[in-house]
Chain A
Amino acid sequence: MFLEFEKQIAELEGKIEELRHLSDGGDLNIAAEITRLQKKANQQLKVTYKKLSPWQKVQVARHPNRPHFKDVRKSLFSGFIPLSGDRYFGEDKAVVAGIGKFKGQSVVIIGTEKGDSTEERIESNFGMARPEGYRKAQRLMDIANQFNLPVLTFIDTAGAYPGIGAEERGQAEAIARTIETSLSIRVPSIAVILGEGGSGGAVALATANQVLMLEHAIYSVISPEGCASILWRSSNHAVEAANALKLTAQDLHALRIIDNIIEEPLGAAHRDHSITMDNLEKAIETSLANLCRQSRDQLLDNRRKKFLDMHAGKLI
C-alpha cells in the first residue's frame, strides 16, 4: 500500500514490477533497466522520507503494514509468556503484557497491540485500551518491581478507548494510577513509541526512565484531527494542527521530551521489518545497559526528576 505522497515512488515500483513480468531474467537490457529504475525509486524514497512533513509522518505512523507490538515481541524476546487479566474485571487484548528474555535478561514487557488482520484488529479494539488494560499494566509493573526486572513498554495507540463501559469502570483513574505506578517502581524502565503515541493512553505507558521513538513515529496530546476540530472548528485543518502540535520524534527530541530516536530503514519501518527490529534491539540494549548502572533508588529519583524538569520554563 502506497501513501498519498508516494505517487512517484508507486509509479516507479509499478514499472519495475511490469518489467519483471516481461522478462524471465534472461534479457540483459531489461535487467539493466530494472536496476536503473530501482536506483531511482530508492533515491526518490530517500529524498521523500528525509523531508516528511508532520502530517505525512502521521500517515506513516498509522501505516497498516508498520510493525506492530506483535512483531516486536516475536523478534526481540525469547520465552515470552503472556499474562492476562487485571484481577478486577476482565482481560483487555488491546494491552499485551508478560515476561520474557531480552538478551538473556528477564524483562517485563507491556505493549499496546493494534493487530494486523481484521479479526485481530477487532479483538484488540484497534489498539485502544480500556481500564482493564491499564490495570493489567500496573499489575505487571508491580511484578517487575517485586522481582527487580526491567520494564519495557511499547506504545502504538490512537488513545485510550472512549466508551460507556470504560468510563463507568474508571478510565481516567486507571490511566492516572498507571502513571503513578510508573513513577513508583524502582527498576529500569524504557518506553518505545512504535507508531502512534496518542495522548493519556500513551503517556500511561510512557512515563519511563528512557523514552525512545522510532524515526517516523508520532506522540501527541491530541490527534491532529481532534485538535483541528476543536481549535479550527473543522477537521479539514488537520495538516496545520499536525504542524502546530510538534508531534514528530525530531521535534520532541529537540524539546527534550524523548531521549532518543531510533532510525528506520529506507522508506520507513513498514518497508523492512527486520532492519527496524535490529535497530530497535540495539537501541534498547544500549539504553538498558546505561540504566542498569544506576541503583534502584537512583532509577526512581532520576525518573521523577526528569519529568519534574519537563516544563516550559526549563526547556528554553
Chain B
Amino acid sequence: MNWITNSVLPRIKALVQPKEIPDNFWVKCKGCNEMLFHRQLEENLQVCPRCDYHMPLSCKNRLKALFDDGSYEEIPLKDGTNLDPLKFRDKRKYLDRIKEARSKTGLQDAISLACGRVHGLEIIIAVFSFEFMGGSMGSAVGNAIIKSAELAINKNAPLVIFPSSGGARMQEGILSLMQLPRTIIATQMIKQAELPFIVVLTNPTTGGVTASFAMLGDIHIAEPGAIIGFAGKRVIEETIHEKLPDGFQSAEYLLDHGMVDLVIRRHDLPKTLSTLLCLLMNKDIGSSSLTGE
C-alpha cells in the first residue's frame, strides 16, 4: 500500500488536479520578504507568522475560517443575468474575460454568498474574490448584494460583507455605475429591518465599492494593512504631482482618520464579529453557541 499512497496516488492526483500546489511550494512574504512554506501559511490563514502581513485569502478558505466547524451553506447567485449588455470589447471580448475568470477561479462571479453560524449565531456572509476580474462590481455582484440583504431579512439574521475590489466593472459601462445606488438600496433594506450590517474591508477595497455599500455599514472593520480608498494611488499621484505619505490609505491610516471602527487580525474575526453582533442584537455573548440559537 505504501508505494501506492506515496507515489501512485499523488501522481494520479497531479493528473486530475494539475493546479494543486505541490508540497514543496514556498511563498515570499510581501511584508518581510521571508520565504514561507505554503502549508504553514495556509494553516495560518495566509498570514505571515513572522511579520503578520495579511495575504489574500481565497473566498472558500475565508468562509471555512469564519463559520463554526468550517461548515456553511453556499447560496447560488441568481442565474440569468445578461452578462454583456453592452457587447463590450477592449483588446478582448468581455465575455471571454468572464469565461476565463470563471474557469480560473471556479466561481460564477466576483462574489460568493453563504449562510451559517459563527459562534452559534446565524449570519449571512458575502465575500468578494479579488482574483475574479479584480473583484469588480457589475450587475451580477450588485444582484448578489441585494440578494444577501433579502436573505438576511428573510432569516432575520445579520449581514456581513467582505469586499475586496478595484471598484466598478468597466466592461459593464454605466450599468456598473448603477450598482452604486442599487447596493445602497440593499443597505437601506437591512437598516429598515433593524438588522446589523457589518463591513469587513479587506485588501484592496477602492473605487465604486467604497463609494457605495462598503462605507455604509453600521460598523466598519478592516484587516491589518488593507488598502482602502476612493481613488487609486496612481491617479492621486498623477493629479497632485506629489508623493503620497507613508501608509496612505492603509487600514491603520483610515482608523486614524475616523473611517473605520476597528482593525482586526484575520484570526480574531469570528470572535469579534459574533461578539459585536450579539451586543448589537442584545443577545448574551457566547450564549448563542451554547443554545445553538
Contacts and interface: CB of A to CB of B under 8 A. Distances in A.
B55 interface: no
Contact of B236 (A163, A179, A200, A240): A163
A174 to B, nearest CB: 9
Interface size class of A (residues with CB under 8 A): 35 or more
A102 B175 CA distance: 32
Interface size class of B (residues with CB under 8 A): 35 or more
Contact of B81 (A173, A237, A247, A312): A312
B268 interface: no
B174 A247 contact: yes
B170 interface: yes
Contact of A312 (B89, B91, B175, B244): B175
Contacts of B179: 311
A164 B248 contact: yes
A310 B211 contact: no
B176 A221 contact: yes
B91 A232 contact: yes
B135 interface: no
A312 B82 contact: yes
Contact of B240 (A163, A230, A255): A163
Given A172-B230, A257-B178, A313-B82, A244 B173 contact: yes
A247 B173 CA distance: 8
A95 to B, nearest CB: 16
B235 A244 contact: no
Nearest to B229: A167
Contacts of A180: 184, 187-188, 216
A180 to B, nearest CB: 5
A200 B175 contact: no
Interface in B231-278: 231-232, 235-236, 239-240, 242, 244-245, 248-249, 257-259
Given A163-B239, A164-B240, A179 B180 contact: yes
A241 B173 CA distance: 10
Contact of B174 (A167, A184, A220): A220
Contacts of B185: 183, 304, 307-308
A308 B248 CA distance: 35
B86 interface: yes
A313 B139 contact: yes
Interface string A172-213: 110111011011100000000000000110011001000000
Contacts of B229: 167, 171-172
B192 to A, nearest CB: 11
Contacts of A173: 210, 215-216, 259
Contacts of A179: 180-181, 184, 212
Contact residues of A: prevailing secondary structure: helix
Contact of A183 (B174, B188, B207): B188
B85 interface: yes
A164 B244 contact: yes
Contacts of B244: 164
B143 interface: yes
Contacts of B91: 231-232
Contacts of A4: none
Given A164-B248, A171-B231, A316 B85 contact: yes
B83 interface: yes
B169 to A, nearest CB: 8
B90 A167 contact: no
A206 to B, nearest CB: 9
A82 interface: no
A199 B184 contact: no
A245 to B, nearest CB: 5
B208 interface: yes
B177 interface: yes
B174 A162 contact: no
A315 B85 contact: yes
Nearest to B176: A221
Given A160-B230, A177-B216, A313-B143, A244 B174 contact: no
A220 B173 contact: yes
Contacts of B142: 311
B240 to A, nearest CB: 6
A244 B88 contact: yes
B230 to A, nearest CB: 4
Interface of B: 78, 80-86, 88-91, 138-140, 142-143, 146, 168, 170-182, 184-185, 187-188, 207-208, 210-216, 229-232, 235-236, 239-240, 242, 244-245, 248-249, 257-259
For the complex of A and B, 6 pairs with smallest distance between CB atoms: A162-B231, A172-B210, A231-B90, A312-B139, A172-B230, A312-B82
22 contacts: A160-B231, A164-B245, A164-B248, A167-B230, A176-B214, A177-B215, A179-B184, A180-B216, A199-B168, A200-B177, A203-B181, A221-B170, A221-B176, A221-B177, A231-B90, A231-B171, A237-B90, A247-B174, A312-B138, A312-B139, A313-B139, A313-B143
